[in-house]
Structure 1
C-alpha cells in the first residue's frame, strides 16, 4: 500500500483512539467522582445509598445510587461500555498499523534481543492475553478480600511485566507494551466482569429474584482498579514521543514510579470528592516521583555514551558522515525507507546545514537516549554515538 495512505490510516486511527479514550476516561472520572460525593440522608427511597445534586449547562440534576438495584427497572437504561470497547479496539488497531507493521523499526531492537518479526508480534499479542489471565486470577484469589493487598501484588506484577518487556523489546516497544497490557486489563475488566455482573443483576430483577450484592462489589473493585490505572496508561501511550522516557537505561523503573505517581494523584481527588479531606501530601509524593523520573532518565541509554571533555574538538565532516549514513534514509527530503512517505516530524538530516540546525534533537535522540535510529536498525555504533556526544556537547 502507498506510504501516504498508511500515513493517513495511522493518523485517522490515532485520532479515533484519542477521541474514544477521552470519552472513556471522562465517563470513568465522572462516575468515580459521583460515587464518592453521594451523601446518605433521611427521606431517600428504599435501597438508595446516597444522592447528590449537581448543576451543569444551565440545568440541575438529582443523582441517586442504589446499594444493589431498584425494585423495578425503568424502561430505558443507559449502559456505559462502548467507550471502553472502542478505545481498546482502536488502540489495538493502532498497535497493528504502527508497531506490528513496523516491528523491525519500533518493536525489535537487536541490541536487546534478536528475534524475527513474527516472533516479536506473537510475544507482544500473547503477552496481552497472558497478562490479563494472571491479573484476573489474582483478582479471583483470596487477595481480593483486601483492596490494599491486591493493589500491592498487582503493582508488583505490572513492574515485573515492565522489566520483562524491557529485556525483550526496544525501549519504545517496551513502554508501549506495558501501556497496551494495562489498557487490555482495563477494557477486559469492563467487557468480562463489570458489564456481565451488571447484566446478571438486571436479569435477576427482571426474573423477580433478589440480586446478589457480591456482583456489585466485584464490579466496583475492578472499576476502582481502572480508575487508579488511568493516569499511568495515558503517560505510557504518550511516552513514545519523548525519547528520554523510553530510550534510557531504567525505563522499566520509570514505569514503576509513574504508576505510583498516578495512583497518589487519583487518591487525592478520590479523597477530596468523597469529603474525606484533601491529602496534600500526595502532591509532594508525585513531585518527588517526577524528580526521580528525571534523575533516572539522566542515566542515559542502555550503553553509556561518553560526555565531551573540556577542549575536545570534532571534525564536522566525520559527524556529517555518521548522521547521513545512519539517519538520512528516513530523515531526507525523499525518504528511501519503505513505508515512510515523508521525513518523520519534518526533520531532515541530509545536508550539513540541516544537521547543524538539528544538533539539539540529535543529542536528545541519539546521545542522551538510544531512541534513534529506531531499534538501531541502521547499526549505529557506540563510537559513533560518542562522536555525536562530543560534537553536540562542545557548543558547536
Structure 2
C-alpha cells in the first residue's frame, strides 16, 4: 500500500507536468497564429489567391509568410499540421482529472454538504457535463445564431455563467473550478478535432483532386479558432485556481469564475487589437484590473452579504491569543488526522504538502494558511470531510485577525 501511494503521487505529478508541457505548446502555437493572422498585410504583386503576407525576424533570420484565405493553386509538397498539441493537452488533462478527482472522489470531488452522492454517480455527472457542454456549444454554433459573432458570444457567455453556478451546486469548490476549466477546454480541443482539422482536410482533398475548395470551410474553422483564442486565458486561470482557495473556496466563487471570462476577453482584445495595428486600447487593462479588484473583494466579501455575523478582531500574537486553546482543539479535531507526522486518515500516508498541524508551534507557524484555507474559504478540509462548522471557521478568522492587529 505504501509503495502504491508513492507511485500514485508520482503518477499525478507526471500527468500534471505533461499537461503543462502540452498546454504551453498548444497555447503558444495558438497565440502565434492569431497574432500572425491579424498582422497580415496586402500588397500589389502577391501570388494569386494570397490573402496577405507578413515579414518577421527571429533567431537571427528573417521569415516571409504568406496566407491563402482558401488554398493555394497547388498542393505544397510539405504541409505542417498543428493539431497534436491540442489533442495531447486534452488527453493529459483528462488523465489528471481521473488520477486526482476520480480516484480521490471522496476527498476532492464530492462535498456531501453540497450534493450527497456516491463516487460513481459524481464521476458520471462529471463526464456527462463535460460531454454535454460540447454538444450544446456545437449546436449553438451551427444554429442561425452562429451567423452573428456577437450574439453567439453573448449566448455562449450566458452558458458559461450558468455552468459556473451549476458546478458549485454539484462538487467541491476546487472541483467546480477544475470542471469549468475542463468543460471549456473540451470545447476548445473538440473544435480542433471535430471542426478545424476536418475542414482543413476537406480543403486539402479538394486540392489533390483538382477541385476548387469551398471558402465556407475556412470561414467556419476561423470562427471556432477565434472562440478558442478568447477562451484560453480563463482556462489557464481555472487550471491554476486549485492552488488559491480564495478563488474557489468562497461563497461567491461562481461569480468570480464568471468575471474571469470577461477579464480574459478584455486581455485578448487588447493583444488582438495591437496585433491588427488598430490601436492600443489601454482601457482594457484598467477594466481588467478593476474587475480583479472586485474579485478580490468578493473573496472576502462583508459577511452581512452572506448572512453570517461579522467577527471582531482584538489581540496580539497567535499562541498568546485567548482563542488559541479553542483554535488548537479545532485544528486537532478537524485537520490533524491528515496533517500529522503519522496521518490517521485512510489512504493518506504523508502530511499533504508536508504541512503538519499536530503541535502548538506548527499551528502557529501555519496560521496564515489555516486562516485562508479553512477560515476565509472552505478549501480545507477537502469536501469538509471532517465536518468543520461555520462557528469553527469564524473562530479561526477571529483568532488570526485579532493576532494581526
Given the two structures, how large is their TM-score scaled by the length of structure 2? 0.95
- 1:394 pairs with 2:398: no
Q: Is the 8 A contact 2:315 2:403 kept in 1?
A: no
SS at match of 1:386: helix
Q: 1:206 to 1:303 in 2, by over 3 A?
A: farther
Q: Residue 312 of structure 2 is aligned with which of 302, 308, 311? A: 308
Paired residue for 1:376? 384
Helix, strand or coil at the partner of 1:65: strand
Change (3 A) 1:336 1:53: same
How far residue 375 of structure 1 moved from its aligned partner, in angstroms, is 0.4
Q: Which residue of 1 aligns with 2:77?
A: 75
SS for the counterpart of 2:376 is coil
Task: Please list the CA deviations of residues 197-219 of structure 1 after superposition, one character each: whole Å capped at 9, or x if unmatched.
Answer: 00011011111111110000000
TM-fit CA distance, 1:336: 2.9
**In 2, are the aligned partners of 1:303 and 1:382 still within 8 Å (CA)?**
no
Once structures 1 and 2 are overlaid, which stretch shifts more, 232-241 or 277-286? 277-286
- Map of 1:190 onto structure 2: 192
CA distance in 1, matches of 2:221, 2:346: 46
Contact kept? 1:40, 1:51, Cα under 8 Å: yes
Alpha-carbon deviations, 1:305-358, whole Å to 9, x = none? 742354796343322121011111211123233333422222110111101111
1:132 match: 134
- 1:38 maps to 40
Q: Is 2:105 the counterpart of 1:103?
A: yes
Matched residue, 2:264: 262
For the residues of structure 1 that align with 2:401 and 2:275, how far apart are their CA atoms?
49
Aligned residue in 2 for 1:356: 364
TM-score norm. by structure 1 comes to: 0.97
Q: Contact 1:306 / 1:389 at 8 angstroms: preserved in 2? A: no
2:297 pairs with 280, 295, 298, which one?
295
| SS of equivalent residue, structure 1 residue 324 | helix
Aligned to 1:317: 325
Q: Work out the CA distance in 2 between the residues paired with 1:277 and 1:395.
A: 50
2:222 corresponding residue in structure 1: 220
User: In the TM superposition, what are the counterparts of 1:98-247 in structure 2 within 5 Å?
Assistant: 98-247=100-249
- CA deviation map 1:37-90 (0-9, x unaligned): 000101110000000011111111110000100111112110000000000000
Q: Residue 403 of structure 2 aligns to a residue in which SS? A: coil
